[in-house]
Amino acid sequence: MTGFPVVRSRRLRRGEGIRRLVREARLSPAQLVLPLFVIPGKGQRQPIASMPGVERLSADLCGEEARSAKSLGLGGLLLFGVPDEKDATGSSGRDPDGLVPRAIRAAKEAAPELPVMADVCLCDYTDHGHCGVLLPSGEVDNDATLPLLADQALAYARAGADVVAPSDMMDGRVAAIRRGLDEAGLSDTAILSYAAKYASAFYGPFREAANNRPRQGDRKGYQMDPANGREALREVALDIEEGADMVMVKPAMAYLDVVRAVRERFDVPLLAYNVSGEYSMLEAAAANGWIDGQRAMLEMLTGIRRAGADAIITYFAPKAARLLAG
């Protein structure tokens, strides 16, 4: 093989035009999905202390956010409910006139073509903070949780969600949701499965935003062990077999090897969640002048794309879209 001086790799790095021409991983606003936290009331915006620049907002304002997302060219919204009242089974999450259904309707009315996704899980709605109903022992009852998740997904689909996204990590939940949707005549509603969701320390700021910290124990009994990579491939295969249309790896940055492995093994749309802890760490470092926040943000998002994600769920979506457009 001929090497230097005949081969000079720097020839293709000399100017922005050449670099842009040969760039391998490309990032566009259409590949970014913005998460929103929906709260009770009207005209309400609540800053989240641990996530600078991110707010909780009432359902009526989701229309405004949808219009903004559409104008920025974003790929969609992902909605989470943050109710005031909670109970043992998370019943408010299944209310057809609850926070998320109202937000879905507002978003779809304002921007009908913008994809709206709704997170499906009990943790935001239970008084104990776990992702399923509890046995007397305090363990999550996997099988008793499945019909509740299916009902929640059904409420969101009936409100107009384009995609329902189960994040609970219960075994069999994709099949239960798919069956429920199909039996209700909602077979066009897509399922984005949080197929490889790890029991991560990077969710800390989200726990404040969604007010869903477990009151006892933790989620290690159903979310994945951060040490496991091969297990993620099994989880993804099972969810695709059960009817998932898209799959997700969460978190993104500490699991880029998992993103790459899933991309190489499966030919379905793959999303990665650039989670709250990743967002807040970068924002804190930028605020202290330790890094160039804008460059670091785009480098991080590009890295997730380079690893193989087709789209990224990220709180940076509006900021990144404006930079990319400029």
Report which of 215, 174, 209 is spatially closest to residue 193, judged by C-alpha positions. 174
User: Which residues fall within 8 angstroms of residue 195, CB to CB, at 6 or more apart?
Assistant: 232, 235, 236, 238, 239, 240, 244, 247, 248, 249, 262
Torsion sign, CA atoms 99, 163, 243, 266: negative
Q: How many C-beta neighbours within 10 Å does residue 33 have? A: 24
Backbone angles phi and psi of 248, in degrees to 5: -135, 145
Q: Give the C-alpha separation, 67 to 89, whole Å.
A: 34
Strands (E), 141-295: 163-166, 190-197, 246-250, 270-274
Active site residue 250: yes
Q: Provide, for the chain, the percentages of residues in helix, strand and coil under a 3-state DSSP scheme, each rounded to the nearest 5.
A: 45, 20, 40
At 154, the amino acid letter reads L
How many residues can be counted in the chain?
A: 326
Which of 86, 108, 250, 319 is flagged as catalytic? 250
Q: How many C-beta neighbours within 10 Å does residue 43 have? A: 8
Which of 42, 86, 108, 197 is flagged as catalytic? 197
Q: Give the C-alpha separation, 92 to 156, whole Å.
A: 12
Active site residue 319: no
Residue 271 burial (C-beta neighbours within 10 Å; 0-12, 13-18, 19+): buried
Report helix, strand or coil for 317: helix
Q: Give the C-alpha separation, 130 to 115, whole Å.
A: 28
Which residues are identified as catalytic?
197, 250
